[in-house]
Chains A and B, each alone.
Chain A
């Protein structure tokens, strides 16, 4: 059914290689026609949501099929990669999108946001992400990034009645466009120095032309890092993050914190490892500092937050720092750690935001940590799930977050970056100062009033999302081997294609 080899220089070969993306794009076009006729009632919106969910699940199945027995490239990987890293990251984005759509279904109805295009934008953003994780060419990665970003700008402001959502959308749009410009300029400079935008050819050219000290190339890498720094919300490019995460509807925030960030990391890791490996003396240092500053600043500011949504926003900045540690190492183990942590991070972030949608109301901006007081006695299961998410975000042993963080640590140690490992451990200890108060509030404090938490009820798909993510986090915490082995194997695949061929 699927050919064993495809020639990516032919249109038919590209079509085979891009089947999951092409399917999802076709599905979006069909749904657009559905929305053209069915956009008046909440039921129509629900229908579009269900169809989107179905499309995402089928795409996930296609990605897994390709993962198991996908075609090998005949010759050079032009435009799109055909490696495990692409499929692994695509699976993570799709899981993130599925969870986001699932928690949106009830949320949009409750907050009376009637915009069926919401789901289409999530699908479009997911297609962009798949191109970011799978692009074998800087231009394809950039196009994927733009497709994702433009869809997410709109999603941030989808609640037209909220001025905070408008602020979030405008801020995100302006700074995001700025970041895209940096990224594009970086790509242009790299093209200027090497004469190609293909990742493998960039690698070959750097070695062949002896560009290790080329100023234009180094400037290009710097621009690239600034652009991606904005997208992953690394300090000092994080200023937009709290306001945007705060103002956007909570399911969108979950999607941004999980999938959008994962996509930016996937693209960054692929570019650095596959194209710019000969320049590692240049970028390792820069990413080292980004990682260290991001971990410290993100976690310290999170300590001062009293409102949960903003606290989670700063916590996501801190987590970008942890992921940057994995990027800094630049090794196979680092890639594997990134893959594993991105999956775990998606599960725990979406889970935590899902609980926030259940407890909070009206955009959840004002939900304080005190609002969780006594949740343990009124809604024990919900409180238990929240405990799992908080402990996993903290990196507590027995949860998947611990395994992920331990894996990132060992990648840093293996790459002789002991100082960065120490910063990571320090930042994690610091983060206990804001994750644990949530658990304390739920179990050790009394409810504010007799009527507190009466309205707090997980309905429909949200219940499944919370239950499944919490269970998976516990499962991966005590039995991580299967996913870890998979991550290790795909991590080994992310190398410059030249080296892969040599090692075979």
Chain B
């Protein structure tokens, strides 16, 4: 039974080896010349804007949570769409129930003003 997992173990080993090898090799071969630019978290990215523990408006979290709900809807919809023919009428009704429940939630969220920024 355990032999079935050998390819998985090999994959894990390969991944770990590659990661260690890349970081290790560059660590050994590259000369270290520390400049202020090199020490920033993203050397060729945006300059950082202050500390990571800053506070954000709670509205961001609300939007994020609402996004998850509709994101998950898509996660359910795609496999449903792929196997729509096999599921038939039953599948259609099930999805309708799901969408109606979600729709009620959406109307509620909209009317309650959770989508407005102010």
Within B85-112, which residues are at the interface with A (CB < 8 Å)?
90, 94, 100-101, 104-105, 107-108, 110-112
The range of chain B's interface size is 10 to 19
The distance in angstroms between the C-alpha atoms of A29 and B112, with both chains bound, is 15
Closest approach, in angstroms, between the C-beta of A48 and any C-beta of chain B? 12
Residues of chain B lying within 8 A (CB to CB) of residue A11: 90, 94
Residues of chain B lying within 8 A (CB to CB) of residue A39: 112
The distance in angstroms between the C-alpha atoms of A33 and B111, with both chains bound, is 9
- Is chain A's binding surface mostly helix, strand, loop or mixed? helix
* Of B90, B94, B111, the contact of A36 (CB 8 Å cutoff): B111
**Total A-B residue contacts, Cβ distance less than 8 Å:** 20
* Closest partner residue, chain B, to A25 (CB atom): B101
Are the C-beta atoms of B107 and A36 separated by less than 8 Å? yes
The distance in angstroms between the C-alpha atoms of A37 and B101, with both chains bound, is 17
Q: Mark A6-17, 1 if CB is under 8 A from B, else 0.
A: 000001000000
The distance in angstroms between the C-alpha atoms of A182 and B104, with both chains bound, is 33
The distance in angstroms between the C-alpha atoms of A59 and B108, with both chains bound, is 24
Closest approach, in angstroms, between the C-beta of A437 and any C-beta of chain B? 44
* Closest partner residue, chain A, to B112 (CB atom): A36
Total residues of chain A contacting the partner, CB 8 A: 8
Are the C-beta atoms of B108 and A35 separated by less than 8 Å? yes
Are the C-beta atoms of B107 and A29 separated by less than 8 Å? no
The distance in angstroms between the C-alpha atoms of A36 and B107, with both chains bound, is 7
Closest approach, in angstroms, between the C-beta of B87 and any C-beta of chain A? 11
Q: Mark A116-155, 1 if CB is under 8 A from B, else 0.
A: 0000000000000000000000000000000000000000
Are the C-beta atoms of A33 and B112 separated by less than 8 Å? no
- Is chain B's binding surface mostly helix, strand, loop or mixed? helix
* Closest partner residue, chain B, to A12 (CB atom): B90
The distance in angstroms between the C-alpha atoms of A32 and B100, with both chains bound, is 13
Within A32-55, which residues are at the interface with B (CB < 8 Å)?
32-33, 35-37, 39
Are the C-beta atoms of A29 and B101 separated by less than 8 Å? yes
Q: Mark A93-110, 1 if CB is under 8 A from B, else 0.
A: 000000000000000000
The distance in angstroms between the C-alpha atoms of A33 and B105, with both chains bound, is 8
Are the C-beta atoms of A32 and B108 separated by less than 8 Å? yes
Are the C-beta atoms of B104 and A33 separated by less than 8 Å? yes
Residues of chain B lying within 8 A (CB to CB) of residue A29: 100-101, 104
Closest approach, in angstroms, between the C-beta of B93 and any C-beta of chain A? 8
* Closest partner residue, chain B, to A37 (CB atom): B111
* Closest partner residue, chain B, to A116 (CB atom): B112
Query: Which of B105, B107, B111 has the most A CB atoms < 10 Å from its CB?
Result: B111
* Closest partner residue, chain A, to B107 (CB atom): A36
* Closest partner residue, chain B, to A28 (CB atom): B104
Residues of chain B lying within 8 A (CB to CB) of residue A32: 104-105, 108
Residues of chain A lying within 8 A (CB to CB) of residue B111: 36-37
The distance in angstroms between the C-alpha atoms of A29 and B100, with both chains bound, is 10
Closest approach, in angstroms, between the C-beta of B80 and any C-beta of chain A? 15
The distance in angstroms between the C-alpha atoms of A426 and B114, with both chains bound, is 54
List 20 A–B pairs whose Cβ atoms lie within 8 Å, in order of A's numbering.
A11-B90, A11-B94, A29-B100, A29-B101, A29-B104, A32-B104, A32-B105, A32-B108, A33-B104, A33-B107, A33-B108, A35-B108, A35-B112, A36-B107, A36-B108, A36-B110, A36-B111, A36-B112, A37-B111, A39-B112
Mark B residues whose CB is within 8 Å of A: 90, 94, 100-101, 104-105, 107-108, 110-112
Known contacts A32-B105, A33-B107, A39-B112; 13 further A-B pairs (Cβ under 8 A): A11-B90, A11-B94, A29-B100, A29-B101, A29-B104, A33-B104, A33-B108, A35-B108, A35-B112, A36-B110, A36-B111, A36-B112, A37-B111
